Every structure is written in structure tokens, then in C-alpha cells.
């Protein structure tokens, strides 16, 4: 039975905020997480982007906040400045509904450190949202007093650790009270998170969205086999027929992203690029230009695109499938937000069909298509075609062997008869294969 926000007895201010934000009922991850965090449990939650996880931790954070105490009570850590800024905005939205001012400070790199320290000397915030590097630096400096913290949240924890913030997070956790509630939200649960949990979160509750719920149902997943045309040619074909509002094109490396962007620019396509080689200033400028819709297409890498909330993404194009298939969930979760629909198109080489099958086993309905006359036309996967061809070859071979054994008794017109029999056998094999395929669907 689906829960309601009213089931959790949240503050009136939070209920008003949810109503104005048109949040009707908790998402699956919120349904699992809210009761646990409201009870003060330590938590490890596996959930991809676009599942409502930000409010899954912000609602309990505000519910447990002592508004009348002017000290740091909650710390939210994010791997990138952009994600920290987005969480900060969501937090400010909720804080605006409270009659008393709630002091929330955004602490990220790329801002004036000296000015930030002076501000903190005058007044400690009640909620800190920031990147691990800057937050730990200010704690070490003595500018932040973490001795009253009651809750610490790590959002996109796999990326926090993957980008080298392990020592900073260790330093922060080591300076908050042992009684502080810890919550981890992550798209994947690698070994480093398991080790962190063993060290700091013994007995933590663990929740995860069911595999079949991990991608929005409003996404159409398509796989285009890479055969006669290059990946670049196929992407150009897609751009000519899809006309997206905004499309993210994912490449696995910075080198591939730059090469693809250059190739598409040479073909007259105006395109943006997001990857780790951009400076902080270039990155901010690029994100602003994307949000201002200067580009219809943006080539990005997984790390660069994580934690960036850009509205209106209608299409996800995988120039290549990610090495870690969990990132497929992350990529496609950027489209079909809210009540919108989306499309995810992946370019698939023969050796990647195994990966497609693995995604299907996770409950993702991916259909093979090819582009003909500016339309997506259903087509069998290479493995299916090979199975049919193998049946054809075996049938043909069997027919030839049967007639070869009777070669001495050949009757007039046997060649035409053989052709008819082979044709009939091949047709029968294909029909039987099609029936088996239909049963699997």
C-alpha cells in the first residue's frame, strides 16, 4: 500500500512546502527511507538520480532540526559544487516555509575562503551543505564547529569516494559526535562504501529500489546495432530525425568526448561539452549556457554529468555503453523527470549485446532498432540473427545430405523440388523462431 506524506507526521511547514511543490505521494525511495531516518537510524540507501532522494534526506533533516539553537546541527556533503548548489536550493525552498529564519550555508570550492571564514566567526550556520574538501578545510581551520552535529548525509557517496575525498570524509566524521546520525545515498555500493559503513555505521539499515523500479517507466529504451555505419554517422542520423529539446550524449572518456564533439561540430552541429578537464569557471559557464538552451546537444562523461540537475532533457544517447552498467541507470535517469517522457538510445557493437542482455535482466525493456527512411524500425539482435542463420544453414545442409544419399535415384525436376523444400524448411524454421521470440516477450 502506497504511503502518504501525512503518514509521517511531519511539521506543518514541511507539509505546506510539499503541497506547494505538488509532491502528491512519496517516491519508492522516500517510502523506504523516511521512516528509518525519522527514527534516527543510520542508513545506506541505493538509489539513482531522479528518484526523489534529495527530499528523502532533507525532510527528516528539517523535521529533527532545533530551530532555536544557533549551532551546526546537520552537514550534507556532495561530490561536486553543482550538486551542492542544487541541494542548497532545495533546502532553502523548504526553509522559506518556516516562520523563523533558518541559517543554511553553502560551502564549496571556487568561492572566497577568507570571506567565508570571517562570516563563520560572526555566526555558525544551522545547516552546512558543501563539498568535502572545503568543509573539512574550514573544520580544521576552526572556522566550523562540528561538535554539535546530529546528522551527516553523504549524497552520491560512490562519486565522493571515487573522486578522492576519502580522507576528507574521514576527517569530518572523526570530528562530529559519535552519536550523530549518518546517512549514505549512492547509485552504487562499491567496496569502499562497505568498508566505510563497517568503520562508522555498524548495524545501519540498508534499502534499495527494486531493480525493475530503477528507471522511470516513461523512458523508451532503444539499441541501435553498429554495423555498416560509424557511431558518428549514426548520431548524425539520430539528430536529423529526433529533434530533441535537449539531448545528453555520453562517452566513456574525456578523449572520446572531445573527439566526438569535434566530429559533430565539423558536421555543422552546435554542441556543448562537459568533462573533467574543464576548469571550474569553464564548467560554470558551460552549465549556464546549457540551461539557457544555447545547445541542443551536449557530449558528457559520467563523472562530469553526475550531480547536475538540468531541466528538459528529452533524450539520452549512449555513444558507448558504460563499463559499469550501474551508470546506465544514472545516465537515463536524467530524462523523463516528473511527468515527462524520455528516450534513451544506445549504439551497440556485437560484443556489447551481452551487456544489453544484462540490462534486460535488471528489468529494463530495451528494443533493437535500425534507422530506415528517418524512422526507427524494429530489428533482431545480432545473436538472434545468427541463431536464425544457423538454423537456415543446418536445414540447408540436412536437405542436401538427404538428397545426396539418393543421388543415384534422381528423378527429373529434382533441383526445383529441392529448392522448394529448402525454401519451405527455412521459412518454417524462421516462423518457429519468431514464435519462440514472441513467447519470450
Alpha-carbon gap, residue 82 to 130, rounded angstroms: 10
Q: Tell me: pLDDT of 85 over 70.
A: yes
Residue bearing the bigger pLDDT, 425 or 64: 64
For position 310, what pLDDT does the model report?
A: 82
Residues 101, 68 contacting (CB under 8 angstroms): no
Alpha-carbon gap, residue 132 to 425, rounded angstroms: 67
> Which domains occur in the chain, in start order?
5-209 (3.40.50.300), 213-378 (3.40.50.300), 382-440 (no CATH)
Dmax over Cα atoms in the chain, in whole Å? 107
Q: Tell me: pLDDT of 306 over 80.
A: no
Q: Tell me: pLDDT of 305 over 90.
A: no
Query: Which grid cell is 256?
Result: 572520446
Residue bearing the bigger pLDDT, 382 or 178: 178
Residue bearing the bigger pLDDT, 278 or 198: 198
Alpha-carbon gap, residue 3 to 34, rounded angstroms: 11
Sheet holding 247-250, edge to edge: 271-274, 297-300, 247-250, 315-318, 342-348, 219-225, 366-372, 375-378
Cite the beta strand spans of 292-356 per DSSP E: 297-300, 315-318, 342-348
For position 289, what pLDDT does the model report?
A: 93
For position 410, what pLDDT does the model report?
A: 40
Helix (H, G, I), strand (E, B) or coil at 245: coil
For position 243, what pLDDT does the model report?
A: 87
pLDDT single digits (tens) 107-137: 998 778 888 898 898 899 999 999 999 999 9
Helix (H, G, I), strand (E, B) or coil at 34: helix
Residue 383 pLDDT grade (very low, low, confident, very high; cuts 50, 70, 90): low
Q: Tell me: pLDDT of 29 over 50.
A: yes
Could you give the residue ranges of the DSSP H alpha helices within 96-131?
Answer: 113-122
51: closest CA among 72, 23, 28?
A: 28
* Residue 366 DSSP symbol: E
pLDDT single digits (tens) 138-173: 999 999 999 999 999 999 999 899 888 999 999 999
Residue bearing the bigger pLDDT, 64 or 414: 64
* Residue 408 DSSP symbol: G
Residue 399 pLDDT grade (very low, low, confident, very high; cuts 50, 70, 90): very low
Cite the beta strand spans of 103-191 per DSSP E: 104-107, 127-130, 151-155, 181-186
pLDDT single digits (tens) 207-259: 997 645 456 668 999 999 999 899 999 999 999 998 899 999 999 999 999 99
Q: Tell me: pLDDT of 409 over 80.
A: no
Alpha-carbon gap, residue 398 to 401, rounded angstroms: 5
pLDDT single digits (tens) 3-24: 899 999 999 999 999 999 999 8
Least confident of 45-54, 102-111, 151-160, 401-410: 401-410
Residue 45 pLDDT grade (very low, low, confident, very high; cuts 50, 70, 90): very high
CA 127 to mean position of chain CA atoms: 27
- Cα–Cα–Cα angle for 126, 128, 129, rounded to 5 degrees: 145
Residue bearing the bigger pLDDT, 366 or 384: 366
For position 437, what pLDDT does the model report?
A: 54
Question: Under the phi-then-psi rule, with left for phi > 0, alpha for psi from -120 to 50, and beta for the rest, what region is 307?
Answer: left
The per-residue pLDDT of the chain, averaged, comes to 85
Alpha-carbon gap, residue 125 to 72, rounded angstroms: 6
For position 412, what pLDDT does the model report?
A: 46
pLDDT single digits (tens) 319-370: 999 988 878 888 888 888 766 889 999 999 999 999 999 999 988 999 999 9
Q: Tell me: pLDDT of 422 over 60.
A: no
The answer to pTM > 0.95 is no
Q: Tell me: pLDDT of 394 over 60.
A: no
Helix axes 12-20, 81-95, angle to 10 degrees: 110
Alpha-carbon gap, residue 154 to 148, rounded angstroms: 18
Amino acid at each position: 500500500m502506497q504511503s502518504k506524506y501525512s503518514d509521517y507526521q511531519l511539521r506543518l511547514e514541511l507539509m505546506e512546502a510539499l503541497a506547494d511543490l505538488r509532491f502528491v505521494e512519496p517516491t519508492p525511495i522516500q517510502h523506504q527511507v523516511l521512516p528509518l531516518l525519522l527514527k534516527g537510524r543510520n542508513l545506506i540507501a541505493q538509489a539513482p538520480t531522479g528518484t526523489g532522494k534529495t527530499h528523502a534526506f532533507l525532510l527528516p533533516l528539517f523535521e529533527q532540526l532545533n530551530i532555536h539553537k544557533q549551532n551546526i546541527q546537520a552537514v550534507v556533503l556532495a561530490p561536486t559544487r553543482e550538486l551542492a548548489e542544487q541541494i542548497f536550493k532545495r533546502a532553502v525552498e523548504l526553509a522559506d516555509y518556516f516562520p523563523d529564519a533558518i541559517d543554511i550555508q553553502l560551502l564549496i570550492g571556487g568561492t572566497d575562503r577568507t570571506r567565508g571564514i570571517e562570516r563563520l566567526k560572526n555566526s555558525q550556520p544551522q545547516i552546512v551543505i558543501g563539498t568535502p574538501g572545503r568543509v573539512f578545510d574550514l573544520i580544521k581551520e576552526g572556522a566550523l564547529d562540528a561538535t554539535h552535529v546530529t546528522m551527516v548525509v553523504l549524497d552520491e557517496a560512490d562519486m565522493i569516494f571515487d573522486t578522492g575525498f576519502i580522507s576528507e570524509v574521514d576527517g569530518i566524521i572523526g570530528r562530529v559526535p559519535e552519536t550523530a546520525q549518518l546517512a549514505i545515498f549512492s547509485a552504487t555500493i562499491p567496496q569502499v562504501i562497505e568498508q566505510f559503513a563497517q568503520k562508522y555505521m555498524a548495524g545501519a539499515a540498508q534499502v534499495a529500489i527494486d531493480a525493475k523500479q530503477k528507471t522511470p517507466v516513461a523512458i523508451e529504451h532503444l539499441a541501435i546495432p553498429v554495423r555498416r555505419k560509424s557511431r558518428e554517422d549514426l548520431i548524425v542520423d539520430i539528430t536529423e530525425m529526433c529533434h530533441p529539446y535537449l539531448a545528453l550524449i555520453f562517452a566513456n572518456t574525456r578523449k572520446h568526448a572531445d573527439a566526438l564533439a569535434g566530429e559533430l561540430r565539423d558536421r555543422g552541429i552546435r554542441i556543448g561539452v562537459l568533462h573533467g578537464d574543464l576548469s571550474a569557471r569553464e564548467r560554470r559557464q558551460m552549465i549556464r549556457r546549457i540551461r539557457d538552451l544555447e545547445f541542443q546537444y551536449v557530449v558528457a562523461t559520467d563523472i562530469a554529468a553526475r550531480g547536475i540537475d538540468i531541466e528538459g532533457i528529452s533524450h539520452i544517447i549512449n555513444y558507448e555503453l558504460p563499463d559499469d552498467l550501474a551508470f546506465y541507470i544514472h545516465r537515463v535517469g536524467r530524462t523523463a523527470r516528473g511527468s515527462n517522457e524520455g528516450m534513451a538510445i544506445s549504439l551497440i557493437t556485437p560484443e556489447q549485446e551481452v551487456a544489453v542482455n544484462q540490462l534486460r535482466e535488471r528489468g529494463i525493456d530495451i528494443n533493437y532498432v535500425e534507422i530506415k527512411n528517418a524512422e526507427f524500425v524494429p530489428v533482431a539482435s545480432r545473436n538472434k540473427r545468427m541463431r536464425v542463420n544457423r538454423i537456415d544453414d543446418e536445414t540447408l545442409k540436412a536437405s542436401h545430405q538427404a538428397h545426396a544419399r539418393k543421388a543415384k535415384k534422381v528423378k527429373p525436376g529434382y533441383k526445383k523440388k529441392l529448392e522448394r523444400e529448402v525454401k519451405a524448411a527455412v521459412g518454417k524454421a524462421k516462423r518457429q523462431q519468431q514464435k519462440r521470440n514472441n513467447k519470450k516477450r
